[in-house]
Each structure stands twice: as C-alpha cells, then as structure tokens.
Structure 1
Amino acid sequence: MKKAVLFCPSRVWGGIEKNVHLRARFLSALGVRVYVILLKGYFAERFADIDDVETIEVKSRGGDLNLLVVANYIRILKSIRPDVVFSALKKDWWLVALASRLAGVNRIVLYLGIARRVKSPIKYFAIFRLMRSILMVNSDSLKNEMLKYPTFFNERNVVRVYNGFNLPSSEGKGQDFRALLDLPSGTVIVGCAGRFSPQKGFDLLPDILSHLPGNIHIVHAGEGEFEEEIKAAIKARPESRRIHFLGYQRDMHAFFKGIDLFLLCSRNEGMANVLNEAMSFGKPVVSTRVPGSEELLANGRYGVLVDVDDVEAMANGIRAISNGNTVFAPADLQQWIGEEFSLQRMIRETNQLFFEAELR
C-alpha cells in the first residue's frame, strides 16, 4: 500500500488547511494510507470522518534550528516509511525537508499557495537543490513568479496543480440570509469568505459599502487570528450595520447557495479556493487582480477584475452585477470550472506528482 504523510501543523483553518483535508480524502479513496501531522489540540476532529487517514499530533512545530522537532519528525517518518511527504505550510519547509531526507524519504513535495520573496538564499538552495524537494504551486502566475529565481527553481522542480472542485449538487437549500438577518426582500447579499488577515482585505468592506446603496449587505464566513482587531475597526464605521460576521461555517454549500454574488478583496493570493467555489455554484464574482484570479476568470471573461485596494472599482463591479448591467450566466461559470478546474484533474495530477512522476 502506498503511504503519504501530510504536514499541516496549523493553528488556523483556512484555504490551505481545507486543501490538505481534501487531498487526504481523495488520496484515501485511491487506496493510499494517509497520515496527517497536526498541532496537538488543533483540527484532528475534522479528519475523523475520513477512512484510512490517521492524524498524528505534535506538541510544537519548532523553529529552523529546533533539533527536538527534527528528531521527532525523523522518528515518525522512519516508523511510517512513506512514499511521499507533503508540507502544506512554508514555515515548515526546512524542518520537514531536512527530517525527510535524514529519514530516507525520496520524494518531498512542498506547497506554496501565495507568492513569497526569497529571504534565505542558502536555505532555499539547500531545500530545493541539495535536498531535491519539489515545489507545488496552484497557478501558472505563481509558477512564473518562482521561476524568476533560477538559482533554486526550474521547470523540473516547480509543478503547477490547480485546486480542484466538484460541481455542487443542485440538492439542498441555500441559507436564507434575509430571513436570518431580518432584512427586506430586496436586499442584495454579497458573500465574502476567508480567514481574518490583512492579506484578505476585509478591512476594506466599510469603504466598499460607502459607495453602494443601503440595500446591499455583506455576509462573511470565517475566523482567524486578526479577527478581533479587524472587527473592532469595522464596528467603528457606520457601514458596519450592513456587514454580518457569521464565523466558521461548516455548511459552505448553504452559504454559497444563499448569496447573490461573491467578492474577493484580497491583497495577495495564489489561487483563492473560495473564488473557485463561488463560481462552481454559478455565482458571479468580483475579484482583485491577485495571482491566480486572472487565470480563474480568464482575464475578465468569467468575472469582474479590479486592482488591489481599489474600493470604488469593487463597488462599481458589485453595483453592475446587482443591477443586471453585467451578467455572467451561471451555466457558463459552472462549465468553465467543471472543465478547467475539476477535482478529477487535481486528483490525477496530484497522484502523478506524488507517486508516478520521475524524480527531480
């Protein structure tokens, strides 16, 4: 039986963590024995419903020179003897790659979901040249960004695998946000989703609404370490009465079915999962021009693209869609996602990279 160890020792639950959960699920369905490394007390219950997936909790993720963490990782990996190790978080690359090589693992795949500057050339050289790790990215724009550093990266050790989605079932009801929030029937519901972080741009929501009529409200699903800070700043604005924070939503199917359109106001991304999800439900979207969004929206063919931090352009995009002046047919959006960003494609390409591709 093939074995994979997925490292995801995170304290937040966002797109990357959901991506690990999805990969664990479909690798298990393919007959792979999957082990997921988590921080003790964080998210093990979310993997409990997946057959043949074992979670291993560690007390600390350590720093770059934490030999105790390296020794623990080596012990875990030697006991499992996996075919592949996958590290979902950039801050874990060094320790995971080092421990994997010392434990005799031949295939090391490190995930990058957002463009980063190369701050430690010696470390990057060791990880990607000496230890021969493979970098997995989720968009061509991100791949091209990393190929700007030829000392570490080339076409052989940077592999793009798009995040994939199944088109949702037509069954099930959407959340009735107008009833839930006691809003008039003519209210336009704009959805946002993601962890609370400056990167996500949720601090801009009051400014966006200040350019829009009072019948437009925003509902947000998510949580995160900057939650209190961002919420406090928003609550100080009069537009806050039109912004509704829902917290973590287990049933995102009902969330997406219940909104009228979706807004991605991020300042940086790799390829935002929530944008794919919204489009898979046939929801029109307004998105900032962050890495991955131009590919996903085919340069504006399947959604409104605006510059980062341009709140007036975001508002204009929302207004045009809500007024019916800009129309994106739900069937066209779903067909585009189903053909180019399918879960089947993600499964096939991940399986090939993990177990079949020629070692770099």
Structure 2
Amino acid sequence: MKVLHIINSLGTGGAEKLLLDTIPIYRKRGIEMDVLLLWNNDHQFTKQLVEMNICKIFIINNSSNVRDIYNPINIFKISKIMRQYPIVHVHLFPAQYFAVIANRLNNSSSKLIFTEHNTSNTRISNKFLKPIDKFFYRDYKKLVCISEEIRQIYGKYLKTNDTELIVISNGIDVEKYNKANALKRSYIHFELQMDDKLIIQVSAFRPQKDQDTLIKCMVLLPGNYKLLLVGDGERKMILMKLVNELGLEKRVFFLGQRMDVPQLLKSADVVVLSSYYEGLSLASVEGMASGKPFIASDVPGLQDIVKEAGILFTRGNEEELAVIIKRLIEDPAYAELTAKKGYNRAMKYDISTLINKHIDMYAQLI
C-alpha cells in the first residue's frame, strides 16, 4: 500500500507533529508512507524525519520565503509526484486546493483524503470564497474530521454526498510524555532559578493562538512565576514586543522550536493552552499526558477534550487565568487531582487507535 501525505511544511503545529510521530509507525506496519512538502525552510521536524531515513521526502521549495507555498507553479510539480501514489492524504490550506487541481491534471488517478484539523477556516464565512471552497472539498473521497464537533460543522457547511465525513481523533504516544524526565532549570534557560514556578505553553505563534492573554496574566502573578513559550511563527515579534511593553523580559522566555517537548512539559508546574479555537489539539493531549495540571481556553476544539479533566478559563480573561494558575501552584492536592484527571483523559487519545483507523480507511479506498 502506497500513501503520499501532502502538507505545507513540517513547521511547528499539531498536524505537522502528527505526521512526524505517525510515519515511523505506519512504516513498521508495512505501509509505504511518503511526504510531500510545499516548503521546507530548514524546520526541525523536517530535519528529524530526514535523520530517521524511513521515507521519501519531496520538497517543492527550499527558499526562505514562506509565500512560495502559495505559488501556483507548485501544482505542476505536485502533479508529477502524485502520479506514483494511488492514495494521497492532504493537510491544511493551500495544499488542500493544489492537490485537487494536480489530481485533475492526472485525470483524477489518485484517491484524495483531506484531514480537517480545525473547527473553522477563513473561507467558511466569506460569501465570495464559500462556493470555491465547497468545489474543492467535493474532490475528496473522505474528509477526516478530528472531532465530532468538526464533523457536524462541515456536514452542515458542505451539504454533499460526494465526500464521506468520518471522525478519527488525533492521538499521541501517551507514555512517552508521562514517563519523560524533567530537565534542570539551568538547562531550560540559564536565567531560571530552582525556586521558580514554571508555566509553559507549546504552540505555534499564529493568529489562531492567544499567547497574548497568557503573557498579560504574568503581570498579576508573583515574580518567581516564569513563563516558557515553545514554538515559532509569524506573531513572534508581536509577542516579544508585548513582553517588553509589560516589563516581563526576565520572566517570559521564548525557547523556539524544541525537540524535547515531553521533557519540557514534565519540568513545568502548570501547562496552559490559550487559544481562540482548535480542532482537536494535540498540544492539549500532550499537556494532560505529561501528568501536570492543564489549563485551556473555553473555546471550540478544547471544551470537549478538557472539560472535567483539565481546567477551562474564559478566552481572553487574564485575571481568571492568573487566579487558576496561582491556586494550582499553591494547592498541591488540587494540582495533583487535576493532573490525574488530565492523564486519564489523555489515555483516550493514544496514537495506536488513530493508526488502526487510518489503515482501515486506506484499505477501503483501495
């Protein structure tokens, strides 16, 4: 069985991390699974996949300009590579559109699958783009929704029988995160002290995420509470400016892309995901799997995962977030109970379930 995954890049993000984690397992299961990237720009996830040497990695653009992802010339390059694969599994926009056009150039020789990772996109609410968006969705034989909420949203949106909507929740290697060893404070950052209380968020710096609220809440917390922000992205300079404006340069640390996320989570006292919306956030599952108390915004894509396991706070409310963080750190029994509930919830999203369902889906299409 040959399957090609197409994605914009292997930069920081849940969809990207999912591919990095699952491809080695697919390969062990006998699936010839390869990856096509519209853009590389020397990302850490790409480097790690190259080092594994377990699959073909096609890179359309090696430039440092992210806008090259949107170059229509990519379609012809994608078309040539797609011909080799009976099944093509696509993630994110614009790969979503390019794969459809490329497949049509090949007389629709490949069966297309698209995974919808979020509860919304900018085209759903645009009356001019909506008809175009629906046209491209219809070329996909299956639309994999990573939550029931997403399936309901896109079922109403698409109103078509051409594409089968199925729910396959994302997953992680739960034990990898739970059994990770904590790092020394000095290894994480040379300015951290032993008595510092560490709060961490692992997420890309994209408009979808709301690191701003988490940064603002630090003003309301004691001076030995320190924030670790793991990731990279287009809003990094905006967030760094906010940190400087609030005088938090010695309390908020930008760690960049890291390959030791399980160890970093294990080193923290509290894990947070402040966001405007999610699909099924792997970062939230990873946070709960780490055995640390987890806090998240009360928004679509996080509510169902975190409710009655972690703690939800009103989106954008830094005062409420600060109160929750302080209580968790000052009340060890409350923190331990929250962490235990989170770990039990994370067990429902073990990666083996996702792998089995994907393989069954590929077999059905063949």
TM range (shorter): 0.7 to 0.9
Note the C-alpha offset of 1:26.
Answer: 2.2
Distance 1:28 1:101, change over 3 A: farther
SS of match in other structure, 1:267:
coil
After TM superposition, the structure 1 stretch with the greater mean CA deviation from structure 2, 308-317 or 201-210, is 201-210
Equivalent residue in structure 2 for 1:100, among 92, 99, 103: 103
Is the 1:84–1:106 contact (alpha carbons within 8 Å) kept by the matching residues of 2? yes
Does the C-alpha gap of structure 1 residues 232 and 279 become closer, same or farther in structure 2, counting only changes over 3 Å?
A: same
Tell me, yes or no, if structure 1 residue 276 matches structure 2 residue 285: yes
Give distance in 2, aligned partners of 1:127 and 1:171.
Answer: 43
Aligned residue among 29, 54, 57 for 2:56:
54
- Name structure 1 gaps, 5 residues minimum: none
1:195 corresponds to? 204
Which residue of structure 1 lines up, in the alignment, with residue 327 of structure 2? Answer: 320
What is the alpha-carbon root mean square deviation over aligned residues? 2.5
TM-score of the aligned structures, taking structure 2 as reference length = 0.86
- Shift in Å at residue 258 of structure 1? 0.5
**1:90 corresponds to which residue?**
93
CA shift for structure 1 position 182? 4.4
Q: How far apart, CA to CA, are the structure 2 residues paired with 1:45 and 1:206?
A: 30
TM-score after normalising by structure 1: 0.87
Question: Which runs of structure 2 are paired with 1:152-231 in the superposition (5 Å)?
Answer: 152=160, 157-169=164-176, 173-177=181-185, 180-231=189-240
Distance 1:46 1:168 in 2: 20
Aligned residue for 1:3? 2
**Whole-angstrom CA distance in 2 between matches of 1:36 and 1:13:** 16
C-alpha distance after superposition, 1:154-197 (max 9, x if no partner): 9x622222111122346553112267444454322111111112
How far 1:152 moved relative to its partner?
Answer: 4.4
Local SS of the residue matching 2:277 = coil
Note the alpha carbon deviations across 1:329-360, whole angstroms, 9 max, x for none.
Answer: 5444323212x10111111122222x13469x
Determine what percentage of the aligned residue pairs are the same residue: 18
Partners in 1 of 2:12 and 2:323 — Cα distance?
Answer: 31
Counterpart-to-counterpart distance in 2, 1:249 and 1:132: 34
Residue 36 (1) aligns with residue 39 (2): no
Letter in 1 for 2:226: H
What letter matches 1:176 in structure 2?
Answer: K
Alignment deviations for residues 183-216 of structure 1 (CA, whole Å, 9 cap, x no partner): 4543221111111123211122332112222232
Contact in 2 for aligned 1:70/1:95 (Cα 8 Å): yes
Q: Which position in structure 2 is the counterpart of 1:19? A: 18
Instruction: Give unmatched runs, 5+ long, in structure 2.
Output: 62-67
The one-letter code sitting in structure 2 at the alignment partner of 1:159 is I
Distance in 1, matches of 2:217 and 2:355, equals 37
Alignment of 1:344 with 2:352, yes or no, is yes
Whether the aligned pair in 2 keeps the contact of 1:219 and 1:244 (CA below 8 Å) is yes
Q: Distance in 2 between matches of 1:178 and 1:321?
A: 24
SS across alignment from 2:199: strand
Q: How far does the alpha carbon of each residue in 1:30-79 deviate from its partner, in whole angstroms, 9 at most, with x for none?
A: 1111221122544442312345410111135445xx3x43322221122x
Separation in structure 2 between the aligned mates of residue 93 and residue 172 of structure 1, nearest angstrom: 35
Separation (CA, whole Å) in 1 of partners of 2:205 and 2:231: 7
Distance apart, 1:93 and its partner CA: 1.2
Q: Secondary structure at the match of 1:87?
A: strand
